[in-house]
């Protein structure tokens, strides 16, 4: 092949692939922005019901336009404790079906109209003042870029048909369904391996699907060769989730292995039945279009029509394979989860003072990345509740609780670092072009994380007050302890109720939070008056009085920070 021709082909194919990938990115980001809260609600709707988890996986992947993004997201959610392994398995199953939407988009008769669609949509994206309209423009612009990129790749591949050396090389992958089965299966496996390796390199099954369709639609490779490549691409796409699981929790690794096993086992059975399965798919295409992809060549008909039939055949093969896989393996999802649990045993872990659950890969999908940070906000809420319980235990007895106290100090140190890492994560999340609702939610989460960190500080301040009494050979006497425990329980209940608003992501009941906060304030004033009366009667020492009134002030600050959280959740701050 002449160098000039090679350069021309390489330029068009590489340029087309770049435009195709950029189009997929814009389409994904636009759809995520337009869907907004609906996408987050889908994730929160995931339950241990397998069918529901599959449906969520399908819908989310259709919206983000990438099974790799969905599976990386799932690994991140499992890592941060938002999803269980069983839930993740169902979503991964659904992601495999959802990714087939790319093939069906490419079946649409748009082709050469991709460029004008791109241009018109770009005007809306660049000049519209309405955010929603701008993101709709971005989505349509992405669609236009996908088709324009595919058209460039097709035009780049066309000259390969007349190059004998390429034809001879591709012939080594020729799959004859009517010849010897041994040779046919050997070539099927070779094609699957090529598809797998190519997908592992580019880390995008949509990109390799686009290349496969480009080669098949221009007649460079046969339909059955393209179908075998698609099988391999289904294995290759698992590399993204596997890489995402490195350095994560054991459960997150199990989710990644479940994805690998599901796709590998599914590809194995489909390859075993390849001759029968492909004939069945092509008969469906022939029934719908009047042409059997196995029996036609590009010289037998109009080039555009040929491309459409072949593209539809590849899309149907991809869909049939993934739907059949889910139907077959869904009843055994529990067994798969048990198998990967044994395959990846639990390791002894030590509680660390830094956060390891915010996966930076989630920054590529802001609408879903905000769900991950919400999981860590919930972790802070639960930690503060736990600290309140441990603090009460320290107050109940006169003796020092050394082990319990060290746990409280350790937990406060963790929450300090958690708050810092949430702030850095959310700052990076909103640093690019993100929807307004994601920005608003991020700012709310930053504020709530700061309030929880302050709550943990005041819990420790109360503990230090108790320790100060112990150091001075003093203890909380009966009346003081009873009053402080009553106040503690009231504030702890208040914090628990506010935490429910945070976890449910509802606007909460600000009127209740305000009135209950005022009632707690009155209880504190009453406690202070009673204590001052005891001081006047010289029932307590001035040093004890100072420590006790400080503790009352710390509880007042706890109430204030909890009220601040309720106001942020309600959108009042």
CB 175 within 8 A of CB 225: yes
How does pLDDT run along the chain (573 residues), one tens digit per residue?
A: 577 777 888 888 889 888 888 888 888 778 777 776 676 677 766 766 788 889 888 888 887 777 777 887 788 778 777 788 888 898 899 988 988 887 887 777 666 677 788 888 888 888 888 888 888 898 888 888 888 888 888 888 777 767 666 666 666 666 766 655 666 788 888 889 998 998 888 877 888 888 888 888 888 888 888 899 999 988 988 888 888 787 777 888 898 899 999 999 999 999 888 888 888 888 888 887 788 888 887 777 777 788 888 888 888 889 999 999 999 999 998 899 899 999 888 775 544 444 546 766 666 677 778 888 888 899 999 999 999 999 998 888 766 778 888 999 999 999 999 999 899 888 888 877 777 888 888 999 999 999 999 999 999 999 998 888 888 777 777 777 888 889 999 999 999 999 998 888 766 678 888 899 999 989 888 888 887 887 777 677 788 888 888 889 999 999 999 999 999 988 766
* Burial (CB count within 10 angstroms: exposed 0-12, middle 13-18, buried 19+), residue 56: buried
Rounded CA-CA distance 494/516 in Å is 8
Q: How does DSSP assign 115-147, residue by residue?
A: HHHHHHHHHHHHH-SSHHHHHHHHHHHHHHHHH
**Residue tagged 């302890």 (tokens):** 481
Question: Structure pTM?
Answer: 0.72
Which domains, ranges and CATH numbers included, belong to the chain? 3-343 (no CATH), 361-569 (1.20.58.220)
CB count within 10 Å of CB 415 equals 26
CB count within 10 Å of CB 185 equals 15
Closest Cα to residue 98, out of 77, 69, 78? 69
CB 150 within 8 A of CB 20: yes
**Residue tagged 């999340």 (tokens):** 429
Alpha helices by DSSP H, listed for 476-541, are: 478-504, 510-536
């Amino acid at each position: 092949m002449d160098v000039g021709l090679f350069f021309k082909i390489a330029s068009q194919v590489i340029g087309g692939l770049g435009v195709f990938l950029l189009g997929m990115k814009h389409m994904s980001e636009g759809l995520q922005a337009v869907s907004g809260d609906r996408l987050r609600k889908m994730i929160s709707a995931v339950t241990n019901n397998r069918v529901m988890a599959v449906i969520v996986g399908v819908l989310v992947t259709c919206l983000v336009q990438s099974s790799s993004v969905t599976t990386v997201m799932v690994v991140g959610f499992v890592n941060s404790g938002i999803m269980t392994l069983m839930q993740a398995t169902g979503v991964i199953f659904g992601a495999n079906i959802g990714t087939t939407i790319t093939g069906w988009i490419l079946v649409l008769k748009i082709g050469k109209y991709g460029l004008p669609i791109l241009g018109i949509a770009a005007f809306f994206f660049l000049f519209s003042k309405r955010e929603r309209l701008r993101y709709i423009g971005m989505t349509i612009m992405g669609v236009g870029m996908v088709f324009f990129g595919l058209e460039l790749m097709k035009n780049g591949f066309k000259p390969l048909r007349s190059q004998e050396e390429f034809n001879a090389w591709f012939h080594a992958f020729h799959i004859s369904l009517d010849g010897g089965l041994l040779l046919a299966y050997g070539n099927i496996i070779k094609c699957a391996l090529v598809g797998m390796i190519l997908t592992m390199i580019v880390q995008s099954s949509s990109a390799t699907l686009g290349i496969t369709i480009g080669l098949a639609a221009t007649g460079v490779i046969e339909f059955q060769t393209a179908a075998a490549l698609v099988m391999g691409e289904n294995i290759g796409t698992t590399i993204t989730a596997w890489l995402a699981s490195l350095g994560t929790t054991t459960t997150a690794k199990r989710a990644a292995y479940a994805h690998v096993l599901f796709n590998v086992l599914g590809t194995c059975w489909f390859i075993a039945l390849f001759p029968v399965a492909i004939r069945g798919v092509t008969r469906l295409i022939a029934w719908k279009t009047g042409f059997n992809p196995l029996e036609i060549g590009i010289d037998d008909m109009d080039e555009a029509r040929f491309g459409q039939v072949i593209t539809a055949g590849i899309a149907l093969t991809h869909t049939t394979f993934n739907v059949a896989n889910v139907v077959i393996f869904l009843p055994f999802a529990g067994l798969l989860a048990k198998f990967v649990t044994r395959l990846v045993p639990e390791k002894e872990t030590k509680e660390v003072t830094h956060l390891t659950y915010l996966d930076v890969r989630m920054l590529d999908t802001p609408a879903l990345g905000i769900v991950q940070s919400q999981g860590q906000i919930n972790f802070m809420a639960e930690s503060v509740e736990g600290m309140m319980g441990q603090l009460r235990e320290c107050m109940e007895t006169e003796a020092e609780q050394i082990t319990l106290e060290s746990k409280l100090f350790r937990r406060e140190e963790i929450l300090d670092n958690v708050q810092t890492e949430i702030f850095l994560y959310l700052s990076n999340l909103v640093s690019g072009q993100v929807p307004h609702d994601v920005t608003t939610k991020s700012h709310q989460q930053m504020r709530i994380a700061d309030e929880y960190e302050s709550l943990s500080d005041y819990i420790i301040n109360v503990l230090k007050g108790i320790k100060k009494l112990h150091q001075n050979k003093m203890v909380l006497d009966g009346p003081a302890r009873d009053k402080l425990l009553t106040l503690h329980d009231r504030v702890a209940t208040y914090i628990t109720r506010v935490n429910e608003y945070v976890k449910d992501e509802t606007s909460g009941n600000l009127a209740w939070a305000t009135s209950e906060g005022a009632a707690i304030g009155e209880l504190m004033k009453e406690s202070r008056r009673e204590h001052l009366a005891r001081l006047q009667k010289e029932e307590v020492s001035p040093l004890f009085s100072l420590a006790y009134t400080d503790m009352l002030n710390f509880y007042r600050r706890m109430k204030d920070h909890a009220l601040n959280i309720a106001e942020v959740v309600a959108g009042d701050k």
